[in-house]
Structure 1
Amino acid sequence: MNTSVKASTITFDDNSMFVSLSDGRLLGVPLAWFPRLLHATPEQRLRYTISTRGLHWEDLDEDISIDGLLAGVGDLTHRHAAAA
């Protein structure tokens, strides 16, 4: 776990989310990895909070860890449901 790297800003285009990290990296991931964000309105996507551990969208009930993004992990909601 790389807890020293934090998100500083988040931006979107029609297909991707871009997370600027505190160490200067810019991480781009497809919105298809996160169906809640993919199907959200642009206004909903912009209502996020950044914590020391990751990203949160209260309205969408979406939480994304920075460690997960760095590891290339998308939405785990359906994977957990399928394993249960």
Structure 2
Amino acid sequence: MNRLKPIAVEFDDEYLWVTLADRRVIGTPLSGLRWLQNATAEQRNDYQLLAHSILWDGLDEAVDTEEMLHGYGVLAEE
């Protein structure tokens, strides 16, 4: 089983939350993903779940679940 496969995506006012295949829920601050923070609700919800990432094709961006676990690829809050 691919434990890092995303199976669900949710947003609140401050975070992107991803549920993984092993049922862990991991979060990343939207402030570190400005492109996603500035996206409309429609753009945020137009994603594809891939083997190890979430792709927002319309925004030409993706988030890797392993990078989320390690905090890589996320800008520090300003």
TM-score grouping bracket, smaller chain normalisation: 0.7 to 0.9
Say whether residues 1:6 and 2:11 are aligned partners.
Answer: no
Identity of paired residues, percent?
35
Q: CA deviation at 1:75?
A: 4.0
> Counterpart in 1 of 2:47?
48
Over 3 Å counting, the alpha-carbon distance change for 1:25 and 1:4 in structure 2 is closer
Q: CA deviation at 1:42?
A: 1.0
Residues 1-84 of structure 1 correspond to what in structure 2 (within 5 A)?
A: 4-75=3-74
- Between the aligned partners of 1:53 and 1:24, the Cα distance in structure 2 is 14
List runs of 5+ in structure 1 lacking aligned partners: 77-84
- Name the Cα RMSD after superposition: 1.5
- Between the aligned partners of 2:49 and 2:74, the Cα distance in structure 1 is 18
Q: TM-score, normalised by structure 1?
A: 0.80
Over 3 Å counting, the alpha-carbon distance change for 1:30 and 1:20 in structure 2 is same
Q: TM-score, normalised by structure 2?
A: 0.85
Q: CA deviation at 1:5?
A: 1.8
Cα offsets for 1:16-36 (capped at 9, x unmatched): 110001111111111011111
Q: Which runs of 4+ in 1 moved over 4 A?
A: none
- Between the aligned partners of 1:46 and 1:4, the Cα distance in structure 2 is 23
Aligned length: 74
List runs of 5+ in structure 2 lacking aligned partners: none
